[in-house]
Amino acid sequence: MIDASLLVLNAAAGSEDSEKLVHAVVEHWPQKHKPDVQFITPADLLGRQITDDAAAVWLLADNDPVSMLAAIEHLRLPILLTDLSDAKIDKPLGSMVYGRNVSIPADAAPAEIRAVVESTLGQACNIDELNQELGIAQRLQKSLMNQVETLDQEMQLAAKMQKLFLPRKLPDIPGLKFNVLFQPAFYVSGDIYDIQQITEHDVTFFIADAVGHGAPAALMTMFIKQGMKLSETIDGKEHVISPDQILTKLNSDIMSRDLDTFNFATVCIGTYNTQTRVLRMAHSIHPAPILLKHDDTIQEIELEGPMLGICDDEPFELKTLTLEKGDRLLIHSDGFELAFGNPEEPMNPQYIEHLHAMAHGTQEQAIELLKGKLDNQTGSINQLDDLTVMMIDVTE
């Protein structure tokens, strides 16, 4: 084990001359402040370690000093280089050469050399502290990277799990065509949707938006999905449950459980009969559905109803209306209005213009228009909110 404040790596052929140089420099220190000096050779470094007491290395070489520097730079100690060869270094005393190492000309005055060596040794504590902090930072970085990698894997798994709660395939119902844009702001979404054909002519669909983002909101949406009872069997036949009754039952179920902070959600739910073309809708403080009529008019379907998880004694309004062939119904979560115009000014001219554009053409074209607007909005690299848009066309 090498134990010294100043390690003198004597790699010079004329070792006696180099030792005399070192002793001449050390003699300029006051007796009580003289540094501990240990002379070592390259062979001494093989299989040995530098302790915390070593503050600097003074390399005296007369042949290929650059190779010697490369061999000892891993020690992470300040290196003072004195080239004893005939080569002249046209650099002032203490100038930086050979990378980060300090060059000390062999013909410099001992007092001047002492100043450079003493200054280097004086930084030993700072260098040691920095090395320790660097080690801590590197360990912390490695730990954080491991945690981030683990979190990434877990969130990817959570995203896959959430997708299991979404329809694998949209139902093919004569007289209707569905399309959905589901775009989480992060791995998992605080939105969820479903479309279920209950009877030959009845279909029920909804979008739910849990308060918050990320995993807690995603867990809430899964609870909502499982808690949604959309139909009941009476006398062996499947019957549609009215949207307002579905929300009343779901709200009561949420209120009966201790779901802590993330027990609030909004839902917009509707049922449609392809024979009668009757649409029945209810919601819980959810953004109003937008009906793009075949005659190019735009209608917001205003509904009254409390937020889920707030209180269990307020009713949910049920609204009934008849759709016509060529009508397009948009149900969406929060975030839709961020892509079009100013969300603080509902139904502003720019918003109306974009809605008219979405009313024409195919559903695929309308979805692409919406995606383009989302990508162009401020902060689109980090999407501001989860977004789900359900598009329903009456084709017959």
pLDDT in tens, 226-278: 889 999 999 889 999 999 999 999 999 888 876 655 578 899 999 999 999 99
Domain boundaries for CATH 3.60.40.10 within the chain? 165-394
pLDDT at site 343: 57
Res 200 pLDDT > 50: yes
Indicate the pairing of strand 290-292 with strand 328-332.
antiparallel
Total Cβ atoms within 10 A of residue 52: 10
Res 377 pLDDT > 70: no
> What is the residue type of 221?
T
Q: In the chain, what is the greatest distance between 2 CA atoms, to the nearest angstrom?
A: 111
Q: Residue 50 and residue 73: Cα distance in Å, rounded?
A: 12
Mean pLDDT of 383-395: 85
What fold, for 6-122?
A: Rossmann fold (3.40.50)
Question: CB-based contacts of 228: which residues, under 8 Å, 6+ apart?
Answer: 194, 206, 246, 250
For residue 92, what pLDDT band results from cuts at 50, 70 and 90? very low
Res 95 pLDDT > 60: no
- Are 389 and 370 in contact by the 8 Å Cβ rule? The answer is yes
Task: Report angle CA 389, 390, 396 to the nearest 5 degrees.
Answer: 150
Nearest to 243 by CA among 268, 274, 208, 221: 268
pLDDT at site 49: 61
Q: How many residues does the chain have?
A: 396
Total Cβ atoms within 10 A of residue 122: 11
More reliable by pLDDT, 201 or 123: 201
pLDDT at site 383: 58
Q: Using one digit for the tens of pLDDT, what is the confidence trace for 325-356?
A: 999 999 998 877 766 655 566 666 777 888 88
Q: Under DSSP, is residue 294 helix (H, G, I), strand (E, B) or coil?
A: coil
Assigned token pair, 173: 């119902």
What's the DSSP call for residue 382? S
As beta bridge partners, residue 59 has 9, 81
What's the DSSP call for residue 286? P
The DSSP line for 183-195 is E-SSSS-SEEEEE
Alpha helices in the chain (DSSP H): 15-26, 65-72, 110-122, 124-163, 214-227, 243-255, 349-359, 363-376
For residue 97, what pLDDT band results from cuts at 50, 70 and 90? very low
Q: Using one digit for the tens of pLDDT, what is the confidence trace for 1-32?
A: 555 688 888 877 667 778 888 888 888 888 77
Average pLDDT, the chain: 83
Total Cβ atoms within 10 A of residue 203: 23
Q: Residue 82 and residue 117: Cα distance in Å, rounded?
A: 12
Assigned token pair, 310: 């707030």
Domain boundaries for CATH 3.40.50 within the chain? 6-122
Q: Residue 318 and residue 313: Cα distance in Å, rounded?
A: 16
- Are 39 and 62 in contact by the 8 Å Cβ rule? The answer is no
Q: Residue 104 and residue 113: Cα distance in Å, rounded?
A: 7
- Are 300 and 351 in contact by the 8 Å Cβ rule? The answer is no
The CATH code that applies to domain 165-394 is 3.60.40.10
Place of tokens 């003074």: 58
What are the CA-CA distances from residue 142 to residues 87, 120, 137, 332 (Å)?
Answer: 45, 31, 8, 42
Assigned token pair, 196: 């279920």
> Rounded to the nearest 10 degrees, how much is the dihedral formed by the CA atoms of 163, 169, 170, 172?
-170
Q: How much of the chain exceeds pLDDT 90, in percent? A: 32
- Are 60 and 14 in contact by the 8 Å Cβ rule? The answer is no
Assigned token pair, 379: 């902060």
Mean pLDDT of 49-73: 75
> What is the residue type of 293?
K
Question: CB-based contacts of 39: which residues, under 8 Å, 6+ apart?
Answer: 8, 10, 19, 22
Q: Residue 391 and residue 205: Cα distance in Å, rounded?
A: 11
Q: Residue 308 and residue 95: Cα distance in Å, rounded?
A: 72
